[in-house]
Amino acid sequence: MKFRNGCSSLLLNWLAIAALISLQSVPALAASEGSFQRTLQVSGPVNMDLTTGSGNVEVRTGSSGQVQVTGNIRASEWFGGNVEARIKRLEDNHPIQQSGNTIRIGHIDDPELRHNISISYVVHVPAETELRVESGSGNQRVEGIRGPLELSAGSGGLKISSIGARVHAETGSGDIEIESVQGNVHAKTGSGSIEAEGIAGGFEADSGSGHITLHQTAPGSVRVDTGSGGMELRGVHGSLDAKAGSGTIEAEGNPTGAWNLHTGSGTVQLKIPSNASFDLAAHTSSGSISVDQPHSVQGSIGRKEIRGKVGGGGVPVEVETGSGDIQIR
């Protein structure tokens, strides 16, 4: 027994030494940081294009005649990769180009300089700015500009507020939050929720998996689609196309255009003004349908299907669920 214990102890010691030698032979990962700042003089509306392979982006309104750019650099490299020299090159040669009121930020042509480099930007711009932002990964936040605004990210959350024109926002994975837009909105995420408040215009939203909410404050067509997740739509004034693979659909508004609502599994709840007139076609495979007063339907009325006119008839309102109730109030 003593012999066995001695052998075990010796073996453990040799294993520990071998592991230590192995770790010492592997180069460690170096991480370094740097930064740069630049102020650009402009006159009139600004057209800006900003890109970063990895890093967060924040754009806010500032002085009317200036664009202020702060870049925070983070680089990682195995020791021996001269990471400090690459950061110094970026600090000395800012990735910023200006031609009058047209500004490009973050475009780096040298592939070696882009390798394992992350640059996060904080930018202050005049309110009269048209902006396009693209990032491989990282969160983006933009507020207070006239627009239009285009954002895209491979992955990362998008936060948008107080934009004076149309918005186009896409991310491969992450939540999208939008507030107060004076124009049409297109929002798409592969996985994540979409929340939109104070949208004065048309609205399109797609989520592979996530909840969608909308508060519309001015007329415009609405189209929403989610593979898995419910939706809450308020103030809809115009046409509506809402589809969910599974999840509850709640819609409130006035169907001045055609409404089409479908969910594979979930309840559908509609809140429509009492003086609205439309042609109703509602069907549920497993569930029931109810139409509350003062709405009255003239036509074919059954527990699982209703086809008829409400308030004298008008635009088509089609509602369907594979499994769930349909409620019209």
Sequence-distant (6+) residues with CB within 8 A of 105 are 48, 49, 50, 51, 69, 95, 96, 97, 121, 123
Mean pLDDT within 61-66: 95
Q: Is residue 201 part of a domain?
A: yes
Number of domains in the chain: 1
Q: Is residue 147 part of a domain?
A: no
Residue 143 φ/ψ, nearest 5 degrees: -150, 145
Mean pLDDT within 96-103: 98
Q: Is residue 299 part of a domain?
A: yes
Per the structure, the complete domain to which residue 329 belongs is given by 175-329
Model pLDDT for residues 180-203, shown as the tens digit of each residue: 999 999 999 999 999 999 999 999
Which residue bears the tokens 């012999």? 3
Q: Report residue 32 as tokens.
A: 């370094």
Burial class from Cβ neighbours inside 10 Å (0-12, 13-18, 19+) for residue 156 reads: buried
Q: Is residue 256 part of a domain?
A: yes
For residue 82, is pLDDT > 80? no
158 vs 165: CA distance, rounded Å: 17
Model pLDDT for residues 132-169, shown as the tens digit of each residue: 999 999 999 999 999 999 999 999 999 999 999 999 99
Model confidence at 85, in pLDDT bands (50, 70, 90)? confident
| Residue 77, pLDDT score | 67
Q: Is residue 211 part of a domain?
A: yes
Model confidence at 112, in pLDDT bands (50, 70, 90)? confident
Which residue bears the tokens 């308020």? 234
Mean pLDDT within 248-260: 97
108 vs 105: CA distance, rounded Å: 9
Share of the chain above pLDDT 70, in %: 89
| Residue 26, pLDDT score | 40
Asked which of 39-53, 126-140, 286-300, 310-324 is least confident by mean pLDDT, the reply is: 286-300
Model confidence at 114, in pLDDT bands (50, 70, 90)? confident
| Residue 63, pLDDT score | 92
For residue 220, is pLDDT > 70? yes
Q: Is residue 29 part of a domain?
A: no
Model confidence at 119, in pLDDT bands (50, 70, 90)? very high
Q: What average pLDDT does the chain have?
A: 90
Model pLDDT for residues 8-48, shown as the tens digit of each residue: 455 445 544 444 444 444 444 456 899 999 999 999 999 99
Q: Is residue 237 part of a domain?
A: yes
Q: Is residue 112 part of a domain?
A: no
240 vs 278: CA distance, rounded Å: 13
